[in-house]
Structure 1
Amino acid sequence: MVVDPVARLTDAESVRIARDVLRAATPGLKLCLPDDPAQTPRLLARRGGRRPVLIGNDRALLRAVRHLYGERALGETALSVVPVGNGPSVALARSLGLPLDAVSAARTVLRGNPRALDLLVDDEDGIVLGGLRTEGAEGSAGVAGVSSADSLRRADEPPAADPPWRRMCQALARTVLSRTQREEQHAVPVTPASRTPQVRTVQRLRVEADGAVVAGPDRPVTDVTVRAAGAGLAEVSVQPFGGAPVRVRARSVTVSAPEGFRYRADADAGDSAASAESRTWTVLPRAWHLVLPPG
């Protein structure tokens, strides 16, 4: 059992509970307490014939899977995980079906069943367990609260200079709006529903699913997501700027843009966004095994 040092700092009580449950049921348990997260791969490499159990958050899970994938031992190793961390840091574990409370997670290690899961692998040998989402490149147009034509004009060409009378009216409107917002803030408490809507970003991407074009630069999009959907397929969701989302399933997905694009894989694991001009993700069916609750 490898206990990630971040887990000990974040929630030592959950670590203690999981350790006690596992130790009571497994007298031969070998406990490893690395001082640095980077030591986890070295400890996993010395596991021998033992089944590895990891206590930690999503980042620890990703490090373990990346190591096993690089060792070419991922397909023959059933990984057990006790998620420990706050909500966002274990969102990936939750999405994979792992229980988040220490007792249930420890019992899953003891009584659960290994389940074969698909894996997304990109053309640079990077892996994705949960899913990925594109992010707008710097300089892309924010499009919340404006019309489609106005947003696309701003993305493609600089705005024309306004005449003096229009600038005067805009300044007056801003003054009135600012005073109104201050009065509303004193009168009505801010709730999630009343906050300013999140700014969406126009992206001009080419998206291909098994060679078929799903979206092109001539039709801007605000969101592209890819996730392993099971049965050896990935689900691709493309949200055009204006219109219903397009969803398809494919074994291979390619996203490209001449000026490059950014994407975030397994976002809640805390990794920074990556960038590329083109990236292809391919599904490896039943590539890794995770011990999950029975049924």
Structure 2
Amino acid sequence: MSAADPAGQRLLVVVDPVARRVDGESVRIARDVLCAGSMAKICLPESPEEVARAVGRRGRRRTVVIGDDRALLRVVALLHRQRELAAAPLAWVPVGSLPSVSVARVLGVPLGAVAAARAVLDGVERRFGLLADDSDGIVLGGLWVPASEAGRRCAAVRGVPGAAVSARSALALLTRTGPRRGPRPGARLRVEADGVLLATGDRPVGRVAVSAPAGGGLAEVIVHPRAGHHPVRAAARTITVSGPDFRYRADNRVRGPVRARTWTALGEGWRLTVPRA
């Protein structure tokens, strides 16, 4: 649905409290642009519970999130748990500094308040893939195991403003060569992709990178051995990583520790308004 459709101009604008504290001026600018070009209802929640209530009462309004990656992920995860995500149109005005808005660069959402707000009003809807895990969590961009400072730095620079980054390009940035902190000595990970073992757990694994699904609906998996072996690549619908307690970084957030986690690729699992090409 294009934002030119009158139905698309009825907006529920959810302004994250962190965004209001860290960059009130960008929030004000975004609100002014959105209110000037639409029938916008502004919501200023102070807690996740208030966000849930506002989104639950959105009716036929398109939900617009003003805030950083975590603010967007909170709304996407909420709709995913309610099994409403695929049918719920969303838009986003990123507010915050890198790396707190690094997911925006992967999705092709402008980082400036004016450009992002105008894209909400004049852009086009695009469907994106995501990864859903076995604890009802979601990943929009990509993840790597184990979590590392090198991975955080890659997330901060991946993509280019105003253009979506392909899954392969984003994954290349996540897995570029350079110093990294791997698993603790002796740690071993078992990696399975659609029933095929990519790592058996009998030798240390340097890292595992998984991209959210792109055009084909499959996630790309890259397993980097610790040393002396070439990376193993696969495209899969379901990926399971298991082993000694490990943490992983997903959408610039460290999660875990867990002993096993399974992710399922959902092609075209959610809808986001982005700038016209």
TM-score by length of 1: 0.74
Judged with a 3 Å threshold, the aligned counterparts in structure 2 of structure 1 residues 237 and 58 are, in CA distance, closer, same or farther, namely: same
2-structure distance, mates of 1:263, 1:284: 20
1-structure distance, mates of 2:179, 2:250: 24
- State how many pairs are aligned: 232
Quick check: 2:131–2:213 contact (8 Å CA) kept in 1?
no
1-structure distance, mates of 2:113, 2:94: 7
Judged with a 3 Å threshold, the aligned counterparts in structure 2 of structure 1 residues 136 and 35 are, in CA distance, closer, same or farther, namely: closer
Q: 1:22 Cα deviation (Å)?
A: 1.1
Unaligned regions of 5+ residues in structure 1, if any? 138-195
2-structure distance, mates of 1:71, 1:208: 28
1-structure distance, mates of 2:190, 2:86: 32
1-structure distance, mates of 2:146, 2:46: 34
Q: Say which is worse superposed, 119-128 or 206-215, in terms of deviation.
A: 119-128
Q: Which residue of 2 aligns with 1:217?
A: 201
Amino acid at match of 2:14: V
1-structure distance, mates of 2:194, 2:47: 41
Q: Which has the larger radius of gyration?
A: 1
Q: Which residue of 2 aligns with 1:236?
A: 221
Same amino acid, percent of matched pairs: 53
2:40 to 24, 29, 38: 29
Q: Which residue of 1 aligns with 2:165?
A: none
2-structure distance, mates of 1:136, 1:66: 21
Q: 1:32 Cα deviation (Å)?
A: 1.2
Question: What do residues 50-72 of structure 1 show as CA deviations (whole Å, max 9, x unaligned)?
Answer: 11111000110010001111222
Judged with a 3 Å threshold, the aligned counterparts in structure 2 of structure 1 residues 63 and 199 are, in CA distance, closer, same or farther, namely: closer
Quick check: 1:41–1:63 contact (8 Å CA) kept in 2?
no
- CA-atom RMSD, angstroms? 1.9
Judged with a 3 Å threshold, the aligned counterparts in structure 2 of structure 1 residues 54 and 134 are, in CA distance, closer, same or farther, namely: same
Q: Which residue of 1 aligns with 2:237?
A: 251
TM-score by length of 2: 0.79
1:71 to 55, 76, 82: 82
Q: 1:136 Cα deviation (Å)?
A: 7.1
1-structure distance, mates of 2:203, 2:125: 43
The structure carrying a bigger strand percent of its residues is 2
SS state at 2:270 partner? strand
Quick check: 1:113–1:291 contact (8 Å CA) kept in 2?
yes
What is the correspondence of 1:77-156 to structure 2 with a 5 Å cutoff?
Answer: 77-135=88-146
* 1:283 and 2:265 are equivalent in the alignment: yes
Amino acid at match of 1:3: V
Unaligned regions of 5+ residues in structure 2, if any? 1-12, 149-177
Higher relative contact order (CA 8 A, sep 6+): 1
